Amino acid sequence: MGSVQNEGKPSLTRWYIDTRQLTATNPSLPLLETLQQSDQETVKKFYHLRDRHMSLASNLLKYLFIHRSCRISWDKISISRTPDPHRRPCFIPSPALTEATDEPIPNIEFNVSHQASLVALAGTIIPPSQAATTTPAAVFANPSPSSVPAPSVPQVGIDITCVDERRARTSSAPSTRNQLAEYVDVFAEVFSPRELDTIKNLGGRFPADAQDGEAVEYGLRLFYTYWALKEAYIKMTGEALLAPWLRELEFTDVIAPAPAPAPVQGSASAGDWGEPYTGIKTWLYGKRVEDVRIEVVAFEMGYIFATAARGRDWDRESAVARGCGRRCLCRSLDADGEDRYRQGHCALCDGCLSVCKEIVFGESI
């Protein structure tokens, strides 16, 4: 079990839950009763089981991050939202909770993403000396694409894309370069002209006479890499895909991360991660953005994760490359774990709760 972040060393915690096995074998909603009633209703409103499980996993990740970072009882946690129209999830301690707590409750910043049964959270703790000036909720009330609204408050964004999801649901996935170009052009309102050309030209990695199969496969991975980058950046700022500056946000030197092979069936591994790539350059309105940390990494054959962070002096060495332990939380979603959650035991208490085990794919960035 990893410790809570050291306030003297900025770090970005990133956790994931893979709900595929859970959905395939368990029609119930483990640990649902540990959430606030409003969050339970949010989970149950989804029709499909896999969507319910992703919503459940998203809430559990948020609760776990708040619980461990702020050192407050699980049953006292409530998820707030930033003001309209963005309504980004955040944690704002109630006055009653603040008064009832002996030590100051730290401000935290986090972001979640879910796609094709995978759910991820990125978050960080804001040191008290920095949190005194403003709060994440205040920062996200007025999103800024080009600079940190308050230098003392970090911002993070994370996104997951699945290269295979469209192919699994429809036969209309591009299979030739011409089809790929037509498909990419549909998203002309999202990508800049240079990005569109880069994707259609496969980043210059394939000659014109290359076979369509491998080239188009790379082109699709490149497209989904760009998409994840866009989403992670705008989620970091608190905006949405309707942001008016979206096409002015450009990424260059982008390389689609190579697929990481899935673990052998029956293996205890939670999945294989590729090598993280941090060589991407970010541009906004034609100017280089220097203060944003960007990373993409592949998970198994079909998933791509992108992370964006700004507002702190992040450690430039990626913990993903250092081989942090990876354990999927859903394997611990059992009745025994639920009972102990209700009793309030966790890594911050006397007992080590199995369901609280680290699920890190990169604890520091």
Mean pLDDT of the region 120-133? 75
pLDDT of residue 334: 39
Mean pLDDT of the region 186-214? 93
Tell me which H or E stretch contains 88: none
Cα first-last separation, the chain: 18
Grouping H, G, I as helix, E, B as strand and the rest as coil, residue 1 is: coil
Q: What whole-number percentage of the chain has pLDDT above 70?
A: 71
pLDDT of residue 151: 60
Mean pLDDT of the region 236-259? 92
Considering only 52-56, 253-257, 268-272, which range has the smallest mean pLDDT?
A: 268-272
Q: How far is CA 62 from the centre of its chain?
A: 11
The pair phi, psi for residue 341, each rounded to 5°, is -60, -45
Instruction: Tell me the sheet residues that pair with 161.
Output: 304
> CA torsion angle for 254, 259, 260, 265 (degrees, to 10)?
160
pLDDT of residue 86: 73
pLDDT of residue 124: 93
Query: How many whole angstroms separate alpha carbon 42 and alpha carbon 52?
Result: 9
Place of tokens 């060393």: 9
Identify which has the larger pLDDT, 267 or 290: 290
Identify which has the larger pLDDT, 54 or 269: 54
Query: How many whole angstroms separate alpha carbon 92 and alpha carbon 165?
Result: 35
Q: pLDDT band at 121, cuts 50/70/90?
A: very high
Mean pLDDT of the region 248-277? 82
Query: How many whole angstroms separate alpha carbon 67 and alpha carbon 59?
Result: 12
Fold agreement (1-154+313-365, 156-310)? yes
Mean pLDDT of the region 66-83? 91
- Distances in Å between the Cα of 18 and the Cα atoms of 50, 104, 209 are 11, 34, 39
User: In the chain, what are the domain boundaries?
Assistant: 1-154+313-365, 156-310
Query: Which pairing describes strands 249-252 and 155-162: parallel, antiparallel, or unpaired?
Result: unpaired
Mean pLDDT of the region 32-57? 97
pLDDT of residue 153: 75
The DSSP annotation for 293-339 comes to: EEEEEEETTTEEEEEEEESS---SS-TTTTT-----GGGG-SHHHHH
Structure confidence by residue, pLDDT tens digits, 307-349: 999 987 665 443 333 333 333 444 344 334 444 444 433 433 3
Query: How many whole angstroms separate alpha carbon 325 and alpha carbon 358?
Result: 7
Identify which has the larger pLDDT, 337 or 221: 221
The CATH code that applies to domain 1-154+313-365 is: 3.90.470.20
Identify which has the larger pLDDT, 140 or 365: 140
Mean pLDDT of the region 99-116? 92
Query: How many whole angstroms separate alpha carbon 178 and alpha carbon 293?
Result: 34
Mean pLDDT of the region 76-98? 87
pLDDT of residue 315: 52
Query: How many whole angstroms separate alpha carbon 34 and alpha carbon 40?
Result: 9
Q: pLDDT band at 88, cuts 50/70/90?
A: confident
**44 in Cβ contact with 52 (< 8 Å):** yes
CATH number 3.90.470.20 given to 156-310: yes
